[in-house]
Amino acid sequence: MTWVTKTLNSTLGRKLIMALTGLFLILFLTGHVSGNLLLFKGDGGQAFNMYAKFMTTNPAVKLLSYLTYISVIGHIVYSIFLTQHNKSARPVSYSTSNGSSNSAWSSRNMGVLGTIILIFLVVHLQGFWAKMHWGEIPMVTYEGEEYKNLYLIVSEAFKQVWLVALYVVSMIFLGFHLSHGFASAFQTLGLNHKKYSPAIKAVGMVYCILVPALFAAMPLYIHFTSYTK
Ligand code: HEM
């Protein structure tokens, strides 16, 4: 076994992969939420459609997309490895597990939270991403150039109450998942500093509330403005 495979198979190596893929996904979500803010622009989707074309055709962004797919898959696969390792290390669970006094709810339920987010992701990617890449999408022309009208797909999708509800509820779970993930990644990477840790913690808290709240506001905004059209 080389040192690389040895490291990847050790508990620390697995935790490192979880932390690094998790932090990369946090960066991805920051970019994703920022770009999607164009949905609020009220221009009939022009800026959003132009942005979507850029994001799916620019070679540098494509490379980032591949890194995102690898990170999503790596994060899921290694979470399963770690859970199985933890179970085999402690086949009989603690007889006195003192619930909330031992650890935060989100930290004890990362697997459940992750699974809910995975279900959300499957519905989300099938509804938008797969359609953008392989589906039949009506075209729209701006300034003589043709674009896929992804905005139409998104706004039609969010007319459905069940989908809006799924997005809003999933974003609450995403917030809890991120809140533990953020702290846990910094701990794994040993980024604990007397002076800076409280500031990092505060930024993490703001992030875990703001990003899911903005994501949740998108389907709500599109749904309720659709009644006024
Ligand atoms: C209301 C909130 C959201 C909206 C409106 C939205 C919209 C979209 C759209 C339109 C696409 C396809 C565009 C493309 O292929 O570039 C996409 C892709 C994607 N979304 Fe979302 N999204 C939302 C929230 C989320 C969340 C919370 C996650 C993760 C937990 C997520 C993960 C992804 C991923 C991984 C892709 C594929 C990105 C790529 O190909 O590079 N999205 N999203």
Q: Which residue has a Cα nearest atom 13 of ligand 1?
A: 129
Note the pLDDT tens digit of each residue in 120-133.
Answer: 999 999 999 999 99
Give bridge partners of residue 145 from the DSSP assignment: 142
| Residue 215 CA to ligand 1 centre (angstroms) | 10
Tell me if 174 sits within 8 A of 215, measured CB to CB: yes
- For the chain, what is the domain count? 1
Atom of ligand 1 nearest to the CA of 219: 1
Look at residue 83 and tell me if it is in a domain: yes
Look at residue 96 and tell me if it is in a domain: no
Residue among 138, 120, 148, 131 nearest 215 (CA): 120
Look at residue 166 and tell me if it is in a domain: yes
pLDDT recorded at residue 102 = 45
| Residue 104 CA to ligand 1 centre (angstroms) | 29
Note the pLDDT tens digit of each residue in 34-45.
Answer: 999 999 999 999
Q: Which residue has a Cα nearest atom 33 of ligand 1?
A: 125
Residues lower than pLDDT 50 in the chain: 94-97, 101-102
Look at residue 186 and tell me if it is in a domain: yes
pLDDT recorded at residue 97 = 47
Look at residue 93 and tell me if it is in a domain: no
Atom of ligand 1 nearest to the CA of 131: 12
Look at residue 99 and tell me if it is in a domain: no
Look at residue 97 and tell me if it is in a domain: no
Say which CATH number the domain at 144 has: 1.20.1300.10
Atom of ligand 1 nearest to the CA of 167: 1
pLDDT recorded at residue 84 = 79
> Cα–Cα distance between 214 and 37 in angstroms, integer?
8
| Residue 32 CA to ligand 1 centre (angstroms) | 7
| Residue 129 CA to ligand 1 centre (angstroms) | 7
Q: Which of 21, 32, 125, 152 maximizes ligand 1 atoms within 8 Å of its Cβ, making it the mutation to test the pocket?
A: 32
pLDDT recorded at residue 87 = 66
How many Cα atoms are found within 13 Å in the side-chain-facing hemisphere of 73? 6
pLDDT recorded at residue 213 = 98
| Residue 40 CA to ligand 1 centre (angstroms) | 16
| Residue 123 CA to ligand 1 centre (angstroms) | 11
Domain that holds residue 166: 11-87+107-226
Look at residue 192 and tell me if it is in a domain: yes
